[in-house]
Structure 1
Amino acid sequence: MQTISPFLWFDNQAEEAARFYVSVFPNSELRSVSRYPDDMPGVGGTVMAASFALDGLEFQALNGGPQFPFTEAVSFFVRADTQPVIDDLWAKLTEGGEPGRCGWLKDRFGLSWQVVPPILGELLGDPDAQRSGRVMQAMLAMTRIDIEGLRAAYDGA
């Protein structure tokens, strides 16, 4: 078991979000759902929390109310090795959400994600400032990351 785990505060969608996320990522599972005690006014019997794992990373989710919405200050970085994986994750996570720039997006629950191929870091880290600069400019013009577009920029095409 992990020592540190992301803890997500939802208004009232913790179970729905957990079920959605485990459907998006392989090797994932909903581990538990707990409910508020029946004698709690206004929330008795409703879902209090959910525990789930996404590709082995354990998460906790709480229905705590609307006081603390998600912001882009915290996002989940998803390594996506191929364009089909990027495209699939992008389509699923932006459904009901909104695309951002440079591989960032918000899902329908307001949680921010970055769907990024490892080659982006490799190309941006090239010691040739012109090549890496072209890749940076290409990335800044993208919403969903396009690997071939990055390679073309790197090659000066």
Structure 2
Amino acid sequence: MSKVSPCLWFNGEAEEAAKFYVSLLPDSRIETIQKNVIDSPGGKAGTVLVVEFTLAGQRFMALNGGMKMEYTHAVSFRIDCVDQAEVDRLWDALLANGGTAEQCGWLRDRYGVAWQIVPTVVGQYFGGPDAAAAARVMQAVLGMIKLDVEGLRRAYEGKKAA
């Protein structure tokens, strides 16, 4: 059966990035590391060309493509978090060493990859039967950088911020 998996482009940091990502989530591991067999745009012979890894059960590939390529918001990786502690842990880890926080639970890690760190409850609030509550949650999300589970709950219930 055919499978689809993302390929992330790096300029020499593919192995470092893959090791970092797999350290963050369960069911994650490095699968294979392929080296350049000749000098190529991806690097000198013997250097890492491709790292295949599994991140939270999803296969990825990291490629050292030989030049810096910019990521856009057209593609991002969403991590559903069970609670605020998980949001905080992943947020802090992905921002460490040069990441940048953005609006609505988005951030860019030190490699420029865009991530959405989202409490699972957001989907429940947006998909629930109370449209007014969902609208309040959307307003709350739009006003946040890192998403705050308690603040979202209060918005859903129509309570003022503490």
TM-score of the superposition, structure 1-length normalised? 0.91
Unaligned runs of 5+ in 1: none
4+ residue runs over 4 A deviation: 38-42
What do the CA deviations read for 1:6-48 (whole angstroms, capped 9, x no partner)?
A: 1111121100100100111112111111111245586222111
Q: Report how many residues are paired.
A: 157
1:33 aligns with 2:33: yes
Query: Which residue number corresponds to residue 88 of structure 1?
Result: 89
Take 1:3 and 1:131, find their aligned partners in 2: how far apart are those partners?
38
The 8 Å contact of residues 2 and 58 in structure 1, kept in 2 or not, is answered as no
Paired letter, 1:152: R
Take 1:59 and 1:6, find their aligned partners in 2: how far apart are those partners?
5
| Greater CA drift, 67-76 or 98-107 | 67-76
Q: What does 1:40-59 align with in structure 2 at a 5 Å threshold?
A: 40=40, 43-59=44-60
TM-score of the superposition, structure 2-length normalised? 0.89
1:75 aligns with 2:76: yes
**Secondary structure of the structure 2 residue equivalent to 1:150:** helix
Query: Percent sequence identity over matched residues?
Result: 48
The 8 Å contact of residues 80 and 117 in structure 2, kept in 1 or not, is answered as yes
The 8 Å contact of residues 11 and 67 in structure 2, kept in 1 or not, is answered as yes
Query: Which residue number corresponds to residue 104 of structure 1?
Result: 106
Take 1:29 and 1:74, find their aligned partners in 2: how far apart are those partners?
22
1:19 aligns with 2:19: yes
Unaligned runs of 5+ in 2: none
CA separation of 1:152/1:44 partners in 2, compared to 1, >3 Å: closer, same or farther? same
